[in-house]
């Protein structure tokens, strides 16, 4: 019973913090401490969200599609790359430093080049998302593979297990924790990558919508789209948590 009471208190802390932030935000705008054109009130943001909901929903579908396609492709590329580098050590030594070096290039700098090379459609957005998320997925999986107890692999090898059997029964289950940790980061990066690429060039999407409302100084609509992007990120993150519980039922038992 005491443990249950503690958990309930912990779950309420973020909601309480959010409520205090909203109250402070409303107070600052009501008292005109910060001008309304610079910081709209929460009520104005909510009204903008409801008024522009049809446009926001239409643009959100485009952004979400780009993020999901890029996420699947980036995760698949990272997974395949990690498996190949784990099985071929010399290839890992050859490619790994180049992968690390590639991550020092800011994606914002790459976006305009991708738009020039690939046009204003969905392809440059998807490529940018893939370049953003495949590395953390590959790195986390490699770390997961490397953290496996060598005695477990030796045991299966002594029983005549082949490489794919060792991978399926030892390496893959043991690396799921690292994989889902990277996937939680990847889903947020995917949505941010889609918005940034739309911001720099495109015809539709939440990034394009943000550019239009920024030019018209409609900051209440700007805050509304930020709120929607945060909600979509939470939705994707919640989906990953559900998938993690389904794929790793033993993790719940350990808590």
Q: What is the CATH number of the domain that holds 138?
A: 1.10.3720.10
Residue 152 lies in a domain: yes
Tokens of 186: 């990847």
15 lies in some domain? no
Q: Is residue 18 part of a domain?
A: no
Asked, for residue 245, whether it belongs to a domain, the answer is yes
Please give the chain's pLDDT, 255 residues, in tens. Answer: 455 454 555 568 888 888 899 888 888 888 888 887 788 888 899 999 999 999 999 999 999 999 999 999 999 999 999 999 888 888 888 888 888 887 777 777 787 888 888 888 888 889 989 988 888 898 888 888 888 888 888 888 888 888 888 888 888 888 898 899 989 989 988 998 889 888 877 788 999 999 888 888 888 899 999 999 999 999 999 999 999 999 888 776 555
Q: How far apart are the first and last CA of the chain?
A: 16
Determine the 3-state secondary structure of 132 from DSSP.
helix
30 is a domain residue: no
Torsional sign, CA 79, 164, 242, 69: positive
Please give the tally of structural domains in the chain. 1
Element at 212 (helix H, strand E): helix 206-215
> What is the reported pLDDT for 252?
65
Q: State the Cα–Cα distance between residues 58 and 206, nearest whole angstrom.
A: 9
pLDDT number for residue 1: 47
Q: What is the pLDDT of residue 253?
A: 57
Structure tokens at 43: 């009520």
Question: Which of 138, 46, 131 minimizes the C-alpha distance to 84?
Answer: 138
Q: What's the pTM value of the predicted model, to 2 decimals?
A: 0.82
pLDDT at 50: 92
Indicate whether 12 belongs to any domain.
no
Residue 135 lies in domain: 40-251
Query: Does residue 10 lie within any of the structural domains?
Result: no
pLDDT value of position 10: 56
pLDDT digits (tens, 9 = 90+) for 141-194: 888 888 888 888 888 888 888 888 888 888 888 889 889 998 998 998 899 888
Please report whether residue 26 resides in a domain. Answer: no
């Amino acid at each position: 019973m005491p443990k249950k009471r503690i958990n309930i208190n912990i779950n309420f802390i973020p909601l309480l913090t959010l409520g205090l932030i909203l109250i402070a935000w409303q107070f600052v705008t009501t008292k005109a401490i910060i001008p309304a054109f610079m910081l709209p009130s929460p009520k104005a943001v909510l009204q903008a969200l409801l008024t522009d909901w049809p446009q926001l929903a239409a643009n959100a579908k485009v952004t979400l599609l780009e993020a999901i396609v890029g996420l699947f492709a980036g995760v698949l590329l990272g997974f395949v790359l990690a498996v190949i580098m784990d099985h071929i050590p010399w290839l890992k030594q050859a490619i790994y430093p180049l992968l690390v070096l590639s991550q020092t290039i800011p994606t914002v700098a790459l976006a305009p080049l991708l738009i020039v090379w690939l046009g204003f459609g969905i392809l440059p957005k998807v490529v940018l998302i893939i370049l953003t998320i495949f590395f953390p997925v590959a790195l986390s999986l490699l770390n997961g593979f490397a953290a496996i107890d060598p005695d477990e692999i030796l045991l299966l090898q002594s029983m005549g297990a082949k490489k794919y059997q060792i991978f399926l029964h030892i390496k893959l289950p043991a690396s799921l924790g690292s994989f889902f940790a990277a996937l939680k980061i990847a889903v947020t990066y995917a949505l941010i990558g889609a918005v940034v690429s739309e911001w720099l060039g495109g015809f539709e999407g939440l990034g394009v919508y943000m550019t239009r409302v920024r030019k018209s100084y409609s900051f209440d609509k700007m805050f509304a789209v930020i709120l929607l992007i945060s909600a979509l990120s939470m939705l994707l993150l919640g989906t990953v948590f559900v998938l993690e519980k389904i794929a790793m039922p033993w993790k719940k038992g350990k808590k």
